[in-house]
């Protein structure tokens, strides 16, 4: 992808949307102790706010997927970002825990649809052999949210109250809506699949890739949901130092996302097992040296890099294998990731509720990452990568 494509206003508008969505999704991890105290619930119940959001994405994907497969991408993205901004405003105004839980769930319904449409539009704007990098650029908005949005949002919420953070995210959503209105190109409605929107979803490689999406997120969120308490209680960091550690991990997430796109374009066959194996070593490091600041910070950065190196390759593989059901597959990929998010947060909460220990939580993440490594090994190589390596152009979907 040349510099003009990388810096194009449409892709920047899509990445900005990813930043807003990512900030709203992940920012709550840095505010769990404050939310739990203000709403008078325990830490495990506060963790269910992560699960509720993830379940909203899971519910929204099959509901919105067939509809979005018939709408022009620009029209769909504008509607989804409008809904997302209003949902974050509802979170800021929620009077109690139950209302916030419901608002998070409803806000998340538009999440899967947004990323599904955004990544597919990015694919349409990119050359066939650079599609993974185009997807990675859009998803970089989400990872940059972890670098800037999550630590800054956590700091803002701790200083002025967690509601302020959601007001700011809602305002950024309106700015994004304006940018997308001005910069996104008009697009025709996607071609309909001959056998219906679901015709390509039941293919074994598609189901296999969706399973790997979920497993990767279970492994990540079983630990990441409770990383702020871990850093404070196990590593001994102050709240401000914990935010700095989250910033470091966010840098790793961003680098990992871009690295995953480059590796997919270059045809590294075992990129996913390598990423899962590296993440497992990081979990082992957190378990062994989680009470030491420098090793913990190093493990966080490497863990973030490994965790997001899988995103673009998996999503592009789904789009390729689903054929004319690509729109629904892209949407379902985020449902699969968020199903894993919900399960991971829930399993991590069960671990803590069973008094198995916060310092030992990385061991659970280690086992899950090894399972994901084994399951991901037989996935097929990307079609666009094979075409590039053969020196011919890959056909579009």
Average confidence (pLDDT) per 10 residues, the chain, 397 residues: 57 90 82 85 82 82 76 90 94 91 88 82 75 77 77 84 92 95 82 61 87 93 88 88 83 84 70 89 94 93 90 82 78 82 86 86 94 90 55 37
Q: Which residues contact 311 (CB under 8 A, 6 or more apart)?
A: 136, 139, 257, 260, 337
Q: What is the pLDDT of residue 129?
A: 67
Q: Note the pLDDT of residue 216.
A: 93
Provide the pLDDT for residue 191: 62
Position 389 scores a pLDDT of 43
Residues 6+ apart with CB under 8 A from 125: 5, 8, 10, 11, 134
Look at domain 9-390 and name its CATH class.
mainly alpha
Q: What is the pLDDT of residue 391?
A: 45
């Amino acid at each position: 992808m040349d510099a003009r494509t990388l810096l194009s206003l449409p892709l920047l508008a899509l990445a900005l949307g990813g930043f807003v969505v990512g900030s709203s999704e992940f920012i709550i991890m840095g505010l769990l102790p404050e939310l739990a105290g203000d709403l008078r619930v325990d830490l495990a119940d506060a963790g269910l706010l992560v699960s509720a959001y993830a379940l909203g994405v899971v519910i929204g994907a099959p509901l919105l997927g067939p509809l979005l497969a018939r709408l022009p991408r620009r029209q769909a993205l504008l509607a989804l970002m409008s809904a997302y901004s209003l949902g974050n405003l509802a979170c800021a105004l929620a009077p109690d825990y139950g209302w916030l839980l419901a608002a998070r769930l409803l806000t998340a319904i538009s999440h899967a649809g947004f990323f599904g449409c955004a990544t597919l539009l990015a694919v349409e704007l990119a050359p066939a052999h650079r599609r993974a990098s185009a997807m990675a650029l859009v998803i970089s908005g989400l990872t940059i949210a972890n670098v800037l949005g999550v630590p800054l949002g956590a700091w803002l919420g701790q200083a002025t109250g967690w509601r302020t953070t959601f007001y700011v995210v809602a305002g950024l959503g309106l700015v994004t809506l304006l940018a997308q209105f001005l910069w996104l190109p008009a697009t025709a409605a996607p071609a309909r699949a001959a056998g219906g929107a679901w015709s390509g979803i039941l293919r074994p490689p598609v189901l296999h890739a969706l399973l790997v999406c979920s497993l990767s997120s279970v492994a990540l969120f079983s630990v990441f949901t409770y990383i702020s308490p871990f850093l404070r209680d196990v590593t001994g960091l102050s709240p401000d130092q914990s935010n700095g550690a989250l910033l470091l991990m966010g840098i790793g997430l961003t680098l990992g996302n871009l690295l995953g796109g480059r590796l997919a374009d270059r045809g590294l066959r075992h990129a996913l097992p390598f990423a899962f194996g590296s993440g497992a070593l990081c979990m082992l490091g957190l378990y062994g040296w989680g009470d030491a600041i420098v090793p913990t910070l190093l493990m966080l950065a490497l863990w973030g890099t490994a965790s997001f190196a899988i995103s673009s390759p998996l999503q592009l593989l789904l789009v390729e294998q689903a054929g004319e059901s690509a729109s629904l597959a892209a949407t379902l990929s985020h449902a699969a990731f968020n199903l894993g998010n919900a399960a991971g947060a829930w399993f991590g909460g069960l671990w803590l509720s069973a008094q198995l220990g916060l310092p030992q939580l990385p061991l659970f993440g280690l086992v899950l990452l090894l399972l994901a490594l084994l399951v991901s090994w037989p996935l097929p190589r990307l079609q666009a990568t094979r075409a590039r390596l053969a020196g011919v152009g890959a056909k579009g979907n």
